């Protein structure tokens, strides 16, 4: 399998920007869902009531959900406002009713953020938007919302936005399938972006915090692009398999497993969150010391270049290291070259290689990669 590294692909966006992680096969629907389960209501919502919901925190814009490379510049924001002033319809918004009440915006975050930034920037802690680069209404360049004539202010507040609302009662797997098929700016949302949008709570902040930790950045050599939240999904996989023992993983639906994990994290106490954070950073530091630049990556004999991060290897390695005590980790660091040799041998194991390459959510393959990694590390730690 040593030549396979030349065929590896990485996740990229529609502009070819690499995310620094090895591409995984897309999940497939194994059990068709009933179209009658889809509960979608299309309605016209005036701008003003939506802004009031944002103020009351009943409408979740998830500001850090924005893709860094895709955040609109002032001219693009201004031209959206110009469209409202010209009564030109803007694209449809997609929102979902979330548990506990309120709405989450899944498609249209930047458009709605632009509107609230212009009308009530204080609602989101943003600097006021001053119009610039307008194509037709040049006389309003440089103006804020309050400097527009009142009739134009009213026109914006009364503008009708078309919203496709996914109602409560729609099965979660159906809801995620709907949003997977939605294009935002021509690009489908990633699975983690969807989880982030639809599952609010403390898990969001924890994933963000751990993904930006020094330990994670050092262990991954800062090669994981943050634009599509691939880094946060990696952290979530660690948390998911620390909360639930890998051998207790019973479903072939890894995405549903990760969604459930986010909800479990939302219910954890401060002490439990801190314990998981310590374990995560400890695992990252150990992985750096043991595997060096090849941490969480496929490694073959006579390999010429460093390969991208593999998320299945990441979860199996990080969780296995978290299972070991300090003495065992120190022993593995001392014997790091032997660990790397055994790691290369694992890549020659057909079953292990398949378990980190295809069908990664399959129960047997999840069990295979976790057990193989854990027992390999233990054997080296206790070798004479």
Report d(CA 37, CA 29) in Å as an integer: 15
Report d(CA 85, CA 131) in Å as an integer: 12
Neighbours of 214 (CB within 10 A): 10
Report d(CA 262, CA 235) in Å as an integer: 11
Per-residue pLDDT of the chain (384 residues; tens, 9 = 90+): 444 444 556 554 444 445 578 877 655 555 556 777 778 889 999 999 999 999 998 988 765 644 443 467 899 999 999 999 999 999 999 898 887 778 888 888 889 999 999 999 999 888 999 999 999 999 999 999 999 999 999 999 999 999 999 888 887 777 777 777 765 554 566 788 888 888 889 999 999 999 999 999 999 999 998 878 899 999 999 999 999 999 999 988 899 999 999 999 999 999 999 999 999 999 999 999 999 999 999 999 988 889 999 999 999 999 999 999 999 999 999 999 999 999 999 999 999 999 999 999 999 999 999 999 999 999 999 986
Closest of 258, 93, 287 to residue 192, by C-alpha:
258
List the strands of the sheet with 40-46, edge to edge: 40-46, 160-166, 93-97, 103-107, 59-60
76-134: per-residue pLDDT in tens?
Answer: 999 999 999 999 999 999 898 887 778 888 888 889 999 999 999 999 888 999 999 99
292-332: per-residue pLDDT in tens?
Answer: 999 999 999 988 889 999 999 999 999 999 999 999 999 99
pTM of the predicted structure, to 2 decimals? 0.76
Using CA atoms of 112, 115, 121, 122 in order, give the dihedral in degrees to the nearest 10: -60
What DSSP letter does each residue of 289-319 carry, written as one string?
A: HHHGGGTTB---TT--SPPPB-HHHHHHHHH
Closest of 263, 265, 329, 257 to residue 291, by C-alpha:
329
């Amino acid at each position: 399998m040593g030549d396979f590294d030349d065929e590896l692909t990485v996740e990229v966006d529609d502009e070819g920007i690499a995310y620094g992680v090895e591409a995984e096969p897309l999940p497939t629907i194994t059990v068709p869902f009933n179209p009658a389960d889809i509960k979608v209501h299309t309605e016209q919502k005036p701008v003003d009531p939506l802004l009031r919901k944002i103020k009351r925190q009943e409408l979740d814009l998830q500001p850090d959900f924005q893709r860094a490379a895709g955040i609109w510049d002032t001219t693009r924001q201004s031209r959206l406002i110009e469209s409202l002033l010209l009564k030109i319809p803007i694209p449809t918004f997609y929102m979902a009713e979330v548990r506990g009440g309120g709405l989450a915006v899944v498609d249209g975050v930047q458009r709605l953020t632009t509107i609230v930034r212009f009308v009530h920037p204080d609602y989101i802690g943003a600097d006021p938007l001053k119009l610039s680069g307008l194509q037709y209404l040049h006389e309003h360049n440089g103006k804020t919302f309050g400097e527009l004539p009142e009739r134009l202010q009213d026109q914006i507040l009364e503008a009708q936005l078309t919203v496709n609302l996914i109602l409560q009662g729609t099965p979660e797997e159906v809801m995620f399938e709907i949003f997977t098929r939605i294009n935002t700016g021509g690009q489908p949302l990633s699975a983690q972006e969807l989880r982030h949008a639809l599952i609010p709570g403390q898990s969001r902040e924890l994933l963000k915090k751990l993904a930006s930790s020094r330990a994670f950045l050092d262990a991954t050599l800062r090669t994981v692009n943050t634009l599509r939240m691939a880094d946060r999904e990696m952290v979530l996989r660690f948390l998911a398999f620390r909360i639930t023992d890998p051998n207790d993983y019973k479903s072939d639906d890894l995405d549903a497993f990760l969604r459930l994990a986010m909800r479990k994290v939302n219910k954890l106490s401060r002490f439990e969150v801190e314990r998981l954070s310590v374990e995560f950073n400890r695992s990252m530091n150990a992985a750096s010391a043991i595997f060096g630049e090849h941490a969480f990556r496929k490694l073959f004999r006579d390999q010429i270049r460093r390969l991208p991060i593999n998320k299945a290897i990441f979860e199996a390695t990080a969780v296995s290291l978290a299972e070991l005590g300090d003495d065992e980790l120190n022993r593995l660091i001392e014997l790091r070259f032997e660990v790397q040799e055994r790691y290369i041998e694992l890549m020659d194991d057909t079953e292990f290689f398949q378990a980190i390459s295809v069908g990664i959510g399959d129960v047997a393959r999840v069990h295979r990669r976790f057990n193989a990694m854990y027992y390999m590390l233990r054997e080296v730690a206790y070798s004479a």
